[in-house]
Chain A
Amino acid sequence: MADFDLDSADGRREALRRMVTIRAFDEEAGERFADGEIPGFVHLYIGEEAVGVGTCASLEPDDYIASTHRGHGHCIAKGLDPKYMMAELYGKAEGYCNGKGGSMHIADVDEGMLGANGIVGAGPPLATGAALTIDYRDRDQVAVGFLGDGAVAQGQIHEAINLAATWDLPAIFVVENNRYGEGTPVEKQHNVDNLSDTAQAYDIPGVTVDGMDVTAVAEAVAEARERARAGDGPTLVEAQTYRYRGHYEGDEEPYRDESEIERWKDRDAIESFRDRLIERGELTDDEFADLRSAVESTIDDAVEYAKAADPPEPSAAYEDMFADRPPELDRFAATARPDGGANGGDRR
């Protein structure tokens, strides 16, 4: 069983909690970035929560996902701990990647998270590879590769899906069509109406679902997962969604106007799912308020934790290059240090 299941009331509340957590995490990350506390680039997932959570609702804990540059939501949906995520954003030693990855590279292979990725289109080949391991070892798992609408134009995406299709690997490719690749609208990047139409080229099923509806996403992924496990190969799921924020924090967004954003906000994934749960009598306003304040304190704690955490030791810059450390690392790291090293001159 998935660690949260949309067929049960508890699971539905958990899905809602994860979506709210993603939004709160990213709102906080945006603010902290604006305050200059977080270095690098930050790409927020706000608005797209139903896609990550809907997908992970239909996965088992040991299934794999390979993410994108907009990866915070996928991490939380997969069950990663906001504390260590935030510490990673702050570049701290206790972060998921010991401060070597940052926002764009959060990963935990043991938790089935094969990394956010700074390269558009690079995750799906890794998902194909994870699916290859699963297939090779005859395991009952699947691997999901997330990609954006922009990434659908990347060559390696085609290669990864085609390879997974020809080898009938247990992979699922989830396209998050948030309508823009940076500032270029999807219509200018592709000729097909639905990005799932490209599935025809690989002779695999392609479906387009409402990416603002967490259950619609979950159903499509559950079906894809069944197919994958049966040995019938990958499925391409396109989830139509929208990002409320700019491409990255600080983006002035000359390419779209406020009214478009407002139109999508009318169909907000969190609000509509919350309303559905209230209508079904599974949640009250008070319970939702409690859920929200619990999430907020989780995020506050994460920020406190991240701020208080230790920065990595400078020597950590030379660690984790290899399983088997080559002598070069000691040789050159030593000369790079201000105190110099043993290699500044002839042995004599």
Chain B
Amino acid sequence: MTAQTEAELGLETETMTVREAIRQALREELERDEDVYVMGEDVGLFGGVLEVTSGLLEEFGEERIRDTPISEAGFMGAATGAAATGTRPVVELMFSDFAGVSMEQIMNQMAKMRYMFGGKADMPVTVRTTEGGGMGAASQHSGTVHSWIAHFPGLKAVVPGTPASAKGLTKAAIRSNDPVFVFENKMIYEQSGEVPTDEEFTVPLGEAAVEREGEDVTVVATQRLVGESLGAAETLEGEVSVEVIDPRSLYPLDVDTIVESVEKTGRLVVADESPLSYGTHAEIVARVQEDAFFSLDAPIQRVGTPDTHIPFSPHLEEEVLPGDDDVRAAIQRIA
């Protein structure tokens, strides 16, 4: 059973995959606002290497679905300058591992312009990018770097874990006047679920979803690990009652929903595919410690990638990538 936020309650839905949900979000926003356009490597003719934008070129034409040269710094900077001057680019960064190539424009221009200019620039840019291991793509195409962006002041970061949040977050990102990174886990593009069809449906940045209600342990899970955690919770049914929360947005972070749950359960597992040191897990843990220390009945558990890169061999990849087993074991350690 899924407990969605109010925004999602009572809306008509349709079953679709995460990939289709994002494509529908792009299509709807392209239709709604003429200032919105998509740019990136191979987003047009090719349809996006992971096929998210496929078909959009035929629908919207070359002005609005723009293939760029292979120059991440150049097009990330162009998107920044374009956003500062009033249009609303949606950039596809093919793999999040390539962010480094464009990091100057992201961290020193996109993130800082509004602040350094004393508020005199809007920055309505959306960066969609893929994360995660599981495809045997080896370490230069499998990273999970959202903690970098969520950590960096001036940027917002969202991490959809379901088709509905993929659509709603993408639309909210495009409508935002702040720079928002949408981190799409490439292993869940094929996952399907119910998605509101209402064109005005968005998931506000900074609003978590309680994906499953429970009494004994709170699991805060992101991206692919939302599904894995729901699976783990299912198999523990009768033994442990697990509440699963998808924060959906890492910055801003909906601490209230998480704390409310921890106050009820007294136990917390944080499951996120990024490396464990100094990252997303630590942030969620710190916020809960600050706000609900005395509600905790057991040590907080973290599930993530053990500070390694993602190896190529499926045997090794399986070893380092967190999954439902890891979530289940973490729950059982403290239940």
B-contacting residues of A (Cβ < 8 Å)?
A: 64, 66, 95-101, 105, 107-110, 114-115, 117-119, 122, 124-134, 136-137, 143, 155-156, 158-160, 162-163, 166-167, 319-324, 326-328, 343-348
Contact = CB atoms under 8 A, between A and B. Distances in A.
26 contacts: A66-B81, A96-B120, A107-B120, A119-B108, A125-B73, A125-B81, A126-B81, A126-B84, A128-B81, A130-B85, A132-B81, A132-B89, A133-B85, A136-B82, A143-B81, A156-B73, A158-B71, A160-B74, A160-B77, A162-B71, A321-B115, A322-B154, A323-B114, A326-B205, A346-B293, A346-B295
A125 B290 contact: no
Please name the 3 residue pairs, one residue from A and one from B, whose CB atoms are nearest each other, closest first.
A129-B81, A125-B77, A159-B74
Given A97-B117, A156-B104, A346 B82 contact: no
A115 B113 contact: yes
Contacts, number: 185
A151 B179 CA distance: 26
B81 A324 contact: no
A346 B291 contact: yes
Nearest to A327: B252
Given A126-B84, A128-B78, A129-B79, A320 B119 contact: yes
A322 B80 CA distance: 15
Contacts of B78: 125-126, 128-129, 132, 160, 163
B251 interface: yes
Nearest to B154: A321
Given A96-B118, A110-B120, A125 B178 contact: no
Given A122-B104, A128-B78, A346-B291, A326 B118 contact: no
Given A162-B74, A345-B293, A324 B178 contact: yes
Interface in B41-75: 63, 66, 68-69, 71-75
A155 B101 CA distance: 10
B156 A326 contact: yes
Most buried by B among A96, A126, A129, A324: A129
Given A122-B109, A346-B293, A322 B156 contact: yes
Given A96-B118, A128-B81, A156-B104, 10 more contacts: A101-B118, A125-B76, A125-B81, A130-B82, A133-B81, A143-B85, A156-B105, A162-B74, A163-B74, A327-B255
Given A114-B81, A156-B77, A163 B292 contact: no
Given A126-B80, A129-B78, A136-B87, A100 B69 contact: no
A110 B120 CA distance: 8
B258 interface: no
B17 to A, nearest CB: 29
A89 to B, nearest CB: 14
A100 B290 contact: no
B271 interface: no
A156 B206 CA distance: 33
A109 B119 CA distance: 10
Nearest to A66: B81
Contacts of B177: 323-324
A253 to B, nearest CB: 28
Nearest to A347: B291
Contacts of A156: 73-74, 77, 104-105
A100 B118 contact: yes
Nearest to B294: A346
Contacts of A109: 84-85, 117, 120-121
A95 B118 contact: yes
A117 B77 CA distance: 13
Given A129-B77, A132-B81, A320 B69 contact: no
B268 interface: no
B159 interface: no
Most buried by A among B85, B294, B295: B85
Nearest to B254: A327
Contacts of A124: 77
B290 to A, nearest CB: 5
A150 B322 CA distance: 47
Contacts of A319: 119
A321 B114 CA distance: 6
Nearest to A64: B85
Nearest to A127: B81
A256 B116 CA distance: 34
Most buried by A among B37, B113, B117: B117
